[in-house]
């Protein structure tokens, strides 16, 4: 008999020789699956944190904007009552906002 025939006969008679392959493949797929599971949990936690922070900041910014509107509107009404001429308070507050905005824009462009 030739060597190839002997090897084939030994492989048929000894199937335990290749029994580690299914275990090895199962172990590799299990490792990949657990890695993907960990990455997805990590990404989900990170996304949850980022979304919560964004919602909190957006809500704080909204409340800040509403507060500023009320303060400026009240200031305009006080100025109107002090001067006793309608519209002067709104003009003064608008001018103040334009000056502050211009100053902020000048400093932000220099950087």
pLDDT higher than 60, residue 15: no
pLDDT higher than 70, residue 57: yes
Pair of tokens at residue 103: 């100053």
* Per-residue pLDDT reduced to its tens digit, 79-94: 999 998 888 999 999 9
**43-63 mean pLDDT:** 92
**CB count, 10 Å around CB of 75?**
15
| Dist CA 74 CA 71 (whole Å) | 5
């Amino acid at each position: 008999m030739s060597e190839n025939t002997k090897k084939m006969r030994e492989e048929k008679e000894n199937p335990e020789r290749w029994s580690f392959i299914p275990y090895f493949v199962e172990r590799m797929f299990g490792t990949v699956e657990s890695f993907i599971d960990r990455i997805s949990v990590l990404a989900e936690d990170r996304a949850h944190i980022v979304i919560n922070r964004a919602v909190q900041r957006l809500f704080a910014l909204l409340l800040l904007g509403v507060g500023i509107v009320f303060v400026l509107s009240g200031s305009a009404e006080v100025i109107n009552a002090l001067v006793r001429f309608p519209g002067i308070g709104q003009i003064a507050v608008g001018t103040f906002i334009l000056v502050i905005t211009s100053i902020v824009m000048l400093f932000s462009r220099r950087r």
